[in-house]
Amino acid sequence: MFAADLTNKQQKKRPNEPAGGGGDGGAGEVPAFLHEEARRRYLNYALSVITSRALPDVRDGLKPVQRRILFGMYHDHHLTHEAKFQKSAKVVGTVMGQYHPHGDSAIYEALVRMAQEFSLRYPLVDGHGNFGSLDGDSAAAMRYTECRLQPLASELLVELKKKTVGYRPTYDGSLFEPIVIPSRVPQLLMNGATGIAVGMATN
């Protein structure tokens, strides 16, 4: 059993204060069993990884990073399949700064995978440049490659303007992002999904 000190350890006890802490601050310690606290915190961490990063949502078949990339390309850069290609670095910067506060390399890897014909049966991103090969060659740096949406991805996103899905605040509360994409095609059945979370995985 351990106790979590909720008060400043440097603060001294006032004279005549009851043994339990008393005063207007309540008890200074909250008892908890170590095994219960460890289980609760591990479960919270696992759920956070599962829902926020690692596994796709069955409704649109996309992981959060994939959804944010497609949404950023469509909403912020207007990169439909009929638009001109734009630098991948520009898309990655937008996604990282506005929607997905993680490393740029992880975002770019997700973008590259959505453009590879050997990774997805129906690619969602139209890549221009070196996006790797089946032999294991890695893609060129994001400053050299360009991208836009495939026609299939446009079908996944076109109904966003009809407000058929809910939105939630982004990580810093400055913008809003869709909870899921209003897919008009069964993306999960068409492309499948892979992901490794905490205590769970899918393939």
Q: What is the DSSP string of the chain?
A: -EEEE-S-TTPPPPTT--TT--TTT--SEEEE-HHHHHHHHHHHHHHHHIIIIIS-BTTTTB-HHHHHHHHIIIIIS---TTSPPEEHHHHHHHHHHHT--S-HHHHHHHHHHHH-TTT-SS-SEEEES----TTSPPPPPTTT-EEEE-HHHHHHHGGGGGT-S-EEE-TTSSSEEESS---SS-HHHHH---EE-SS-EE-
Amino acid 6: pLDDT = 39
Per-residue pLDDT of 46-105, as tens digits, reads 888 877 777 888 899 999 999 999 999 999 999 999 999 999 999 999 999 999 988 899
Question: Residue 10's pLDDT is what?
Answer: 44
Catalytic residue among 42, 45, 144, 167: 144
Q: What is the pLDDT of residue 83?
A: 96
Predicted local distance difference test score (pLDDT) of residue 202: 82
Give 15-59 pLDDT, tens digit per residue.
454 555 555 555 678 888 998 999 999 888 888 887 777 788 889
Question: Which of the residue ranges 1-5, 24-28, 156-160 would you say has the lowest mean pLDDT?
Answer: 1-5
Q: Please report the domains of the chain, with CATH numbers, ordered by start residue.
A: 57-198 (3.90.199.10)
99 included as an active-site residue: no
Indicate if the pLDDT at residue 3 is higher than 50.
no
Digit-coded pLDDT (tens) for 126-136: 999 999 999 98
- Give pLDDT tens digits for 185-199: 899 999 998 888 887
Task: Report the distance separating Cα 116 and Cα 91, nearest Å.
Answer: 17
pLDDT number for residue 155: 87
- Give me the pLDDT at residue 183, please: 86
pLDDT at 66: 96
Does the pLDDT at position 8 exceed 60? no
The pLDDT value recorded for residue 196 is: 84
Give pTM, 2 decimals. Answer: 0.79
pLDDT the model gives residue 53: 74
* pLDDT at site 11: 45
